[in-house]
Chains A and B, each alone.
Chain A
Amino acid sequence: MTETMEVPTIAGAGTPLLEARNVTKSFGSVQALAEVDFAVHAGEVMALVGDNGAGKSTLIKCIAGIYPIDSGDVYFDGKKVSIGSPKAAADLGIEVVYQDLALCDNLDIVQNMYLGREEHDVIRRLKEPEMEARTAATMKSLAVTTIRSMRQQVASLSGGQRQSVAIGRAVMWNSKVVILDEPTAALGVAQTRQVLDLVARLSSQGLAVVIISHNLHDVFEVADRITCLRLGRNVAVFERREATQQEVVHAITAGVPTKVSGIAGTGLEEVL
């Protein structure tokens, strides 16, 4: 396995911004991830697909510092890093937008964007105008135009607008990698459109975007590459342009752990 480290990645240009190699994670006797490789480049949308229990969320939580990994390495911008806490991930520039968004309904947009990281002066007085102006600027840079006032309570926003706020919060902190967990689940057609446009805009602005989704239609619309997991193992990495939905579905439901294009051999043959 030592030789696999030197094998350069083929798809995507240059060093991946975020790369996980041979990540293994067990919960008691249940092995959730077995020597999984995963890489995403700056300016790229990488979809992470797989059936329930494939290990998508576990992998994300390992990268985000919520779960410690049992073995394997994580590289950020080519350097080996150890992400021990969500804060360590945030310090690197990795932000996760969870499926349940984690917004406070009773607070307005500005307050949610800055939750836990409020700008304040020496007597801990909030700098409201600064925060409001920067929130508005962030939303503008994301071309979110459907929100009337940055002082609107989140309770009064639609599902798509909430998702925009959650994504805006993730990108406001000079983040480099944004991980979206099921961003279009429970959204209507028009709102899904909004969110997918937003995802495309993020990558065009140079961010590395990871999107977890069950909806292959959405995945094929925004993703550049697709990593497919099955039962905690890598089964395939597709170039979106070269893949069909059937191939991906087949990989999700019946894929065999194997060496795949773009990602170095996982050595699963030996394990199996």
Chain B
Amino acid sequence: MSADATSFGEGPVNQLEGPQGNSLGEVTRRRYEAVKQGDVGTLPVILALVIIIAFFYSKNSNYLSAGNFTSMLTQMAGLTTIAIGVVFVLLLGEIDLSIGYVSGVAGVVVAEMQLPNGRFEVKYALVGIVVAVIVTALIGMLQGGFVAYIGVPSFVVTLAGYLFWQGVILQAIGNQGVIVIQSTLINNIANYFFSDKAGWIIAITAVGLFTASVLTGVVSRRRHGIHSDNLILVGLKLVGFGLVAFGAIWWANKERGFPFAALLVIILLVFWTFVAERTTFGRHVYAVGGNEEAARRAGIDTRKIKVLVFMICSGMAGLGGVILAARLNSVDLNAGGGTLLLDAIAAAVIGGTSLFGGRGRVLSALMGALVITTVASGIDLLGYSSAIKFMVTGLILLAAVTLDTISRRRLERSGR
């Protein structure tokens, strides 16, 4: 009897034919059906980007100049970093409204710790950066603890954090009004540009790693009898990546070069994508966001997952705050204020991460930040006021959330 019972799942693993086919038509049809069911992926945001860029380029050809390109890259680094953390919180179906001022707290910590002859001065500015990220991650642990273990809605906990950390920043900077960052190491995070040669090495390394990772996946799947990859599409993907990588370096090298901040953001994106999509932790985050009760019954410690996610969110906000402070070479009373909070949440949502939890990708932080930054940069370039910028960004956000809601409803309807 038990011999029979154990035979489950150990049958011969044959090649899966038919439904898993990998012909070009089959793969396209699968994608088309996914879109029809409401799984639109990054399609709309790429479309939006093309329209935005085409529009501003037609109005002013300086828009795509190498100079504006590199400055957009550094401009969006801090925002993208914070938005990566937001993606994780949204995946859980929670929200974090404190990220703006938490990023400001990190800026203050870094600034205080590099201040020559200050109370908190440390020998190496790098220590200051590490401490800033740890402090903000601990803030996340505290706030996440309230959400996970006591059950206070994250909206309220982080709204309290929004007020509290703003107060902390005002208290810390106090009558100075502004702390200037003199440490070149810190300022270089946002203001260092690679030499042309270093840029090319980065591009070659990136293309090499990407190719290796994609091909390993294909080979590994084939070895297990899964032939769902279409080799032509895989080839196109690799060529496309190569074109973007080398194109970006080539264009940036026409001006100051490829910014360090952009490389940092790319490394963060790759790392967190790996965590979200390739590890058990990431899988459990999606599960908790999709059906918390199911996750709990499957033996997942949902409360631990929640606390860790809030730590990631606050920690990334802290790192983003360091990048923003480095870009301004200072921290002032407005650190983490303004539209930063809303921009970061909007970036994650515009990029395609659902506000309802369980659906989204780390990459959407980049896509959304690209949309927000290209719009902002274009409107600045054309000399329109902030008023227009807010209105346009607001409309794009509304469109993104509407799309999310509609696609979610389609997903729920299909198949039943």
Interface residues of A (CB under 8 A from B): 17, 42-43, 86-87, 93, 98, 100-107, 111, 115-118, 120, 123-126, 128-130, 132-134, 136-138, 140-142, 147-151, 153, 155-159, 161, 171-172, 174-176, 205-207
A155-B415 contact given A106-B289, A117-B299, A138-B9, CB 8 Å threshold: yes
Q: Is the CB of A104 within 8 A of B5?
A: no
Stretch at the interface among B188-196, B220-228, B306-314: B220-228
- B298 CB–A CB distance under 8 Å: yes
- B241 CB–A CB distance under 8 Å: no
Distance A175 CA – B278 CA, assembled complex (angstroms): 27
Residues of B within 8 Å of A133, CB to CB, are 13, 224-226
1/0 per residue, CB under 8 A from A, across B200-241: the answer is 000000000000000000001101111010000000000000
1/0 per residue, CB under 8 A from A, across B281-296: the answer is 1011011011101110
Task: Give chain A's interface secondary structure class.
Answer: loop
A106-B283 contact given A129-B223, A156-B37, CB 8 Å threshold: no
Q: How many chain B residues touch the partner (CB < 8 A)? A: 53
Distance A176 CA – B9 CA, assembled complex (angstroms): 14
Residues of A within 8 Å of B359, CB to CB, are 106
- B30 CB–A CB distance under 8 Å: yes
- Interface residues in B399-416 (C-beta closer than 8 Å to A): 411-412, 414-416
Q: Is the CB of B226 within 8 A of A104?
A: no
- B279 CB–A CB distance under 8 Å: yes
Q: Is the CB of A205 within 8 A of B7?
A: yes
Residues of A within 8 Å of B411, CB to CB, are 105, 153, 155-156
Q: Is the CB of A137 within 8 A of B12?
A: yes
Residues of B within 8 Å of A171, CB to CB, are 8-9
Question: Closest CB-CB distance, A148 to chain B, in whole Å?
Answer: 4
Residue of A nearest to B219 (CB): A129
Q: Is the CB of B9 within 8 A of A141?
A: yes
Residues of A within 8 Å of B299, CB to CB, are 86-87, 116-117
Residue of A nearest to B414 (CB): A156
Residue of A nearest to B416 (CB): A158
Question: Closest CB-CB distance, B14 to chain A, in whole Å?
Answer: 8
Q: Is the CB of A132 within 8 A of B224?
A: yes
Q: Is the CB of A175 within 8 A of B415?
A: no
Residues of A within 8 Å of B287, CB to CB, are 104, 107, 111, 115-116
A93-B5 contact given A118-B280, A125-B279, CB 8 Å threshold: yes
Name the residue in A17, A98, A102, A171 with the highest tally of chain B Cβ atoms < 10 Å from its Cβ. A102
Given contacts A116-B284, A133-B225, A137-B12, list 8 more A-B pairs with CB under 8 A.
Answer: A104-B286, A107-B283, A115-B283, A132-B221, A137-B10, A176-B5, A205-B8, A206-B3
Question: Closest CB-CB distance, B25 to chain A, in whole Å?
Answer: 15
A153-B291 contact given A42-B1, A134-B9, A171-B8, CB 8 Å threshold: no
Q: Is the CB of A102 within 8 A of B291?
A: yes
In the assembled complex, 30 residue pairs joining A and B whose CB atoms fall closer than 8 Å, in A order, are A93-B5, A100-B293, A102-B293, A103-B291, A104-B286, A104-B290, A104-B291, A104-B295, A104-B358, A106-B289, A107-B286, A107-B287, A115-B298, A116-B298, A120-B279, A123-B279, A125-B279, A126-B278, A129-B220, A130-B224, A132-B226, A133-B225, A137-B9, A138-B9, A140-B14, A141-B7, A155-B412, A171-B8, A176-B2, A207-B5
- B338 CB–A CB distance under 8 Å: no
Question: Closest CB-CB distance, B64 to chain A, in whole Å?
Answer: 37
Distance A86 CA – B300 CA, assembled complex (angstroms): 12
- B6 CB–A CB distance under 8 Å: yes
- B20 CB–A CB distance under 8 Å: yes
Residue of A nearest to B30 (CB): A149
Partner of B416, one of A140, A148, A159: A159
Residues of A within 8 Å of B37, CB to CB, are 156
- B16 CB–A CB distance under 8 Å: yes
Q: Is the CB of B1 within 8 A of A43?
A: yes
9 smallest beta-carbon distances between A and B, as pairs: A206-B4, A116-B298, A106-B358, A106-B290, A104-B290, A148-B19, A129-B224, A102-B294, A42-B1
Q: Is the CB of B295 within 8 A of A116?
A: yes
Residues of B within 8 Å of A104, CB to CB, are 286-287, 290-291, 294-295, 358
Question: Closest CB-CB distance, B274 to chain A, in whole Å?
Answer: 8
Q: Is the CB of A205 within 8 A of B224?
A: no
A138-B8 contact given A104-B358, A156-B37, CB 8 Å threshold: yes
Residues of A within 8 Å of B119, CB to CB, are none
Residue of B nearest to A93 (CB): B5
1/0 per residue, CB under 8 A from A, across B29-44: the answer is 0100000010100000
A140-B11 contact given A155-B412, A156-B414, CB 8 Å threshold: yes
- Interface residues in B339-357 (C-beta closer than 8 Å to A): 357
Distance A43 CA – B359 CA, assembled complex (angstroms): 41
- B123 CB–A CB distance under 8 Å: no
Residues of B within 8 Å of A156, CB to CB, are 37, 411, 414-415
Name the residue in A43, A105, A115, A130 with the highest tally of chain B Cβ atoms < 10 Å from its Cβ. A115
Question: Closest CB-CB distance, B23 to chain A, in whole Å?
Answer: 14
Partner of A86, one of B3, B225, B297, B414: B297
Q: Is the CB of B297 within 8 A of A102?
A: yes
Q: Is the CB of B291 within 8 A of A129?
A: no
Partner of A118, one of B19, B283, B294, B416: B283
Question: Closest CB-CB distance, B220 to chain A, in whole Å?
Answer: 5
A141-B11 contact given A116-B299, A129-B221, A153-B39, CB 8 Å threshold: yes
Question: Closest CB-CB distance, B353 to chain A, in whole Å?
Answer: 12
Name the residue in A106, A142, A174 with the highest tally of chain B Cβ atoms < 10 Å from its Cβ. A106
Partner of A175, one of B5, B279, B281, B416: B5
Residue of B nearest to A96 (CB): B297
Residues of A within 8 Å of B290, CB to CB, are 104-107
Distance A98 CA – B141 CA, assembled complex (angstroms): 34
Residue of A nearest to B9 (CB): A138
Distance A120 CA – B299 CA, assembled complex (angstroms): 16
